[in-house]
Structure 1
Amino acid sequence: MPRERNISKREIKDPQIRKQEILDTAMTLFTYQGYEQTSMRDIAKEINVSLGLCYRYFDSKQVLFQEAMNQYVENCCALFLSVLQNPNKNLLEKIEILFQMMIQEKDIHQYHHFFHQPENKNLHDELSMRICQHLSPIILEEVQKYCLDNHLKINHPDYLIQFLTYGQIGLLSHTDMPNLEIAQSMKNYMMILLKHEMNPDN
């Protein structure tokens, strides 16, 4: 929960450090108080800065939240990209690693608690869409490379990537299924789709 602060003298901090502090504090308050119930004044009070200072960094609460979401997308994608762009693994090996990561997922990402609260499902779905948008070009590149290396072809690679990425959002939004079941189902569907779409390049 947000901690009470008894700081009478305000600290002067590097602008980037202060900006990140405002973001992190805001997301903590959003998590425990709710987005609608939290004001910019609440955020300023929590870190003992003036309201004007908060507005100097962010024009509004909405702008602040969008930047926090963008950061979370980048953090999530960085982990996926480290796997997808590993030159020592082929596409199928990378898929297996990604699904193992999904099974073992822990709240290691910044702002994880907020986006995974049941009442924030719509925001989580928006987050998933942004992650798919971010990763789709990289996945397409990896699929094309795998096909080239294995003398395969795909008639409609763009359609395939759409199914491989955005097609997972519905399953990921089901909070009543354990991670293992979700991951296994998604991997099975993905492998069936890849097998069906990849044909020998004669």
Structure 2
Amino acid sequence: MPRVIKHPEIRREDILDHAQALFLTQGYDRASLNDVIASAGISKGAFYHYFPSKEALLEALADRFARQALAGIQGILDDPGLDPLGRLNSLLSQSRQAKIETAAEAWALFETMFRPENLVLFHRINLAANASFSPLLVRIIRQGVEDGTFRTFDPEGVADIVMQFGLATHDVVAKAIAGGSDADMEVAIEVLEKRVRLYEIALDRILGLLDGSIRIGEPGYIRAVMTARRKADKAG
């Protein structure tokens, strides 16, 4: 069989597609790089041309999830009917909805990073994913500062704080996964729901807004995301 020549970007996406399918069916730990290489029908040299390691492959999947979650976001950024606060809340709302819709797949791919020995990998994946989100936050916050909606001297710092919210919940999620019981999950959901309310108040204060202006969460959001994998496993 002659070797199929593909554009580098198409080849890269093809490798990611095969990796994602294998990680979802076999689990990240059980699916080896050789499995990915065989499934994609490429040589080891070709694989390493795109991804230096299995961890880099997972980071690329995280980045793709982030880009998919933000697909269509340009309409929110350019909507003349939205003021900066409305634009920020719309961005957060779209991000929430995307996380709910992809939660079962995301858990299957990324649950491994919540293990204690994978803390470095967790931070690397967050950096990859946040690289897509942070510039959009900065753009919106700057617009709000310019028109007086927001009051802050450091839009980049505010965006960085928002990004840190996810990192701050790592231990809560990791403990729930390690415990494995429904009771552990319920405790985690309760803690995370309170934490999200706290973050909303903090962000309101940082941006000089009235309490209740920013909506990071919504009723049922945390539960939907945290229990998506279990529901999918039971359904399967």
Question: So what's the TM-score if we normalise by structure 1?
Answer: 0.64
Distance change >3 Å, CA 194–CA 60, structure 1 → 2: closer
**Runs of 5+ unmatched residues, structure 1:** 1-8, 197-202
Look at both structures and tell me which one has the larger radius of gyration over its CA atoms: 1
Aligned residue number for residue 66 of structure 2: 73
Deviation for aligned residue 1:69: 3.6
**Which of the pair is proportionally richer in helix?**
2
Deviations 1:136-194 (A, max 9, x none): 33322322221221386533444333223324431377432278666544323211221
Q: How many Å separate the matches in 2 of 1:55 and 1:106?
A: 31
Instruction: Give the Cα–Cα distance (whole angstroms) in 2 for the partners of residues 181 and 101 of structure 1.
Output: 21
For the structure 1 residues 174 and 96, does the alpha-carbon distance in structure 2 shift closer, same or farther, using more than 3 Å as the test? farther
Alpha-carbon offset, residue 10 of structure 1: 8.5
Q: Is contact 2:138–2:159 with CA below 8 Å preserved after alignment?
A: yes
Match status 1:187 vs 2:179: no
Offset at residue 93 of structure 1 (A): 1.3
Give 1:34-53 correspondences, 5 Å limit.
34-47=27-40, 49-52=41-44
- Unpaired runs of at least 5, structure 2: 174-187, 210-236
Q: 1:112 aligns with which of 106, 113, 117?
A: 106
Give the match's secondary structure for 1:137. helix
Cα distance in structure 1, aligned partners of 2:31 and 2:148? 54
Letter of the 2:113 counterpart: N
Say how many residue pairs are matched.
Answer: 186
**1:94, 1:23 → 2: CA distance?**
32
Specify whether residues 38 and 116 from structure 1 end up closer, same or farther in structure 2 by C-alpha distance, changes over 3 A only.
Answer: closer
CA contact (8 A) 1:147 1:153 kept: yes
Change (3 A) 1:166 1:43: same
Counterpart residue type for residue 128 of structure 1: N
Give 1:64 shift. 3.8
The CA RMSD measured in Å over matched residues stands at 3.9
Q: Secondary structure at the match of 1:188?
A: helix
* % identity of equivalent residues: 14
Matched residue SS, 1:106:
helix
Q: TM-score, normalised by structure 2?
A: 0.57
Equivalent-residue separation in structure 2 for 1:92 and 1:39 (angstroms): 45
Find the aligned partners of 2:36 and 2:204 in 1 and give their Cα distance: 46
Q: Which residue of 2 aligns with 1:163?
A: 161
CA distance, structure 2, for counterparts of residue 151 and residue 58 of structure 1: 44
Q: Secondary structure at the match of 1:132?
A: helix
CA contact (8 A) 2:62 2:125 kept: yes
Q: Which amino acid aligns with 1:55?
A: F
SS at match of 2:81: coil
Tell me the distance in 1 between the aligned counterparts of 2:4 and 2:45. 11
